[in-house]
Structure 1
Amino acid sequence: MFVDFRNEWTPPERPEPKPAPRQNKRAESVAAWIIGFNLLMLLVGPLAGATLFDAVVALFRR
Structure 2
Amino acid sequence: ILLQLKLEMQDVVNKEVILRTKVRCSGKDLPSTRQTSNVRGDLDKLVNQLHKCITRTVKYIILLK
TM-score (norm 1): 0.40
Larger radius of gyration: 1
TM-score (norm 2): 0.38
**Bigger RCO of structures 1 and 2 (CA < 8 A, at least 6 apart):** 2
